[in-house]
Amino acid sequence: MMSSNNNIKIHEHFKVVPPSSSQTTTISLTYFDIFWLRFHPVERVFFYTLPNSQSHPSFFFQKIVPNLKSSLSLTLQHFLPLAGKVVWPSDSSKPFIQFNPNDNDDAVSLLIAESDLDFNHVIENSPQEASLSRSLIPYLESTGSFASVISIQITLFPKSGFSIGITTHHAVLDGKSSTMFIKAWAYLCNKMIKTEEESPTLLPELMPLFNREIIKDPNELQAKFTENLNEMATKMFPNEKPNQRSLKIFAFEPKLDSLRATFKLTREDLDKIKQRVLSKWEIMDTNESKPKPETLSSFILTCAYSLVCIAKAIHEVEKEKEKFGFVFTVDCRGRLEPPIPKNYFGNCVWGIIIDTQPLDFIKEDGDFLVAKSMHEKIKMVNQNGFDKFTPMPNEGIEVIGLAGSNRFGVYEIDFGWGRPEKVEIVSIDRGLTIGLAESKDGNGGVEVGVVLKKDVMDLFRNLFLEGLGRN
C-alpha cells in the first residue's frame, strides 16, 4: 500500500498493546498538563545506520522489526497510559488519561514503512527541504472527544539504515518524559537482543512515576493556565469555535515551503561566545547589586547566540519585524517545594518569556542583552519559585519558541544497533522555533535545529558562521 507521500511505502500497521493488563488505568491531568491540551504534538525522528546485510528488506522486516515491536509492547507495561487516550466524558469537569485493556482502540499505532529517499541526504545538516522529514513522522489522532497519546513509525532506508519517528501528545508528556520513554524502550530492546531474555527488567531510573498527588496547586494555577490557554487560542485561531470541552488539537500547519538545517556549536564556540558576552557584561552593566556571573550555561549561550542570528536575519528580510521575544520552558521537578522525583512522568515545565526592550535582539550587543535577560529570569525563578504566572507576549512581537534540550541525552539512545546518526525535532516547522540537542560527539557542544524561509536561512547561516569566525 502506498501512502500519500510518493517517497514512502507502508508495509504494515500494527496496534501495539502491553503484554497483559486486566485493569483500567486512569490518570488525571495537572495544571502543568492542561496548558498543552490542544497544542500541536511533539514530533521527533531518530536515524540509525545499519550494515548492508541488516538493512536488506528481508532481514530488516523479519528480524529487526519484530525485536522493536516486542520490546515496545514490553515497555508499555510500565507506561500503560501511553497506550490509552486523553478523554473528556460529559460527566467530568476535566479531561483525563485513560487506558482500558478491553477497548480495542486503546493501543499504540505502529507504522512499518520503507522510503526510497537518499538516507545520507536526509540526515545532512545543511539546509534542505523542510518537508523531507515529514514523511517519516506518524499522524496522531485527535477529535473533539478523544486524543491518542503516542504514535510511532519505523522506516527502512534499504542498504543504509532506518528511522524511528515518534509523535507525542504534549498534554501527557513533556520532553524529559518522552525521552525517558524512548530510553526505556531502547534499553529493553537492546537487552532482549544481547541477552535473549524474553522479559528483561527495566532500570529503576527509567521506571516512570505517574503519581499526580505530588503536584500541589497552592496558588490555584490550574484556573490561570486554562485562562491563558483560552486567551492564546483566541489570538492564534480567531476562527475556532470556542468549545472549551474539545480535545481537537489546533491546526499549527507545518511550513513545508521552508528549509530545515542543523547548526553545531562546539565547546570552543561556546567558550568564545561566553567570553564575548561576559566581557560586554563588565562594560555595559555596572550595577554592583547584581554582579556579573562567573559563568553562563551552554543552554543560555546557545539560545542567546542563535536567537540573535535568527532575529537579525528575519529583520534583514522583513524590515518591519524588529521586536522579538523568546519563550522557553524550565524543568520544575527540582524547583518545586518540595522537589519531586526526576522520574515523574508528565508535564512539569514552566514557561518563561524573554521580552527585552524593542530592538534588543537585533542590536550589536544582542547576544549579551538576551543572555543577561535569560540569566536573570532563570535566577528569579530559582529564588522565588512559580508564584507568578508567565504573561502572554505583547502584541506586535515576533515570538521565537524552543523545543528539546541539550541535557536529554538523545544521542545515547541505542536500540541494539548503535547510537543515532542524527536526531531531529521535526515539529519545529510548526512555528518559529529552535530545536536543541546535545552534540553527537559527546564533547559538550550543542546542536541547533532551525526551519526558515530560504532567504532568511541564507542570512542566518552567514551570521551564525561569521560570529564564530568560521566564514
Catalytic positions: 170, 414
> At 160, which amino acid appears?
S
And the C-alpha cell for 348? 512539569
Cα-based angle 141, 146, 152 (whole degrees, multiple of 5)? 30
Calpha distance 180→240 (Å, rounded): 34
Distances (CA, A) of 460 to 126, 138, 353, 394, 402: 12, 30, 23, 25, 17
* Bridge partners for 164 per DSSP: 46, 154
Q: Which of 464, 272, 277 is CA-nearest to residue 367?
A: 277
* Beta carbons within 10 angstroms of residue 429's beta carbon: 26
Alpha-carbon 162 to chain mean position: 20
And the C-alpha cell for 68? 522493536
And the C-alpha cell for 97? 488519561
Q: Which of 62, 46, 44, 45 is CA-nearest to residue 418?
A: 46
Calpha distance 153→112 (Å, rounded): 6
Going across the sheet that includes 150-157, the strands are 8-16, 108-115, 150-157, 161-168, 42-49, 422-425
Calpha distance 150→108 (Å, rounded): 6
> At 418, which amino acid appears?
G
Contact 76, 18 (CB under 8 A): yes
And the C-alpha cell for 183? 530510553
Calpha distance 402→437 (Å, rounded): 11
Calpha distance 471→428 (Å, rounded): 26
Calpha distance 279→276 (Å, rounded): 5
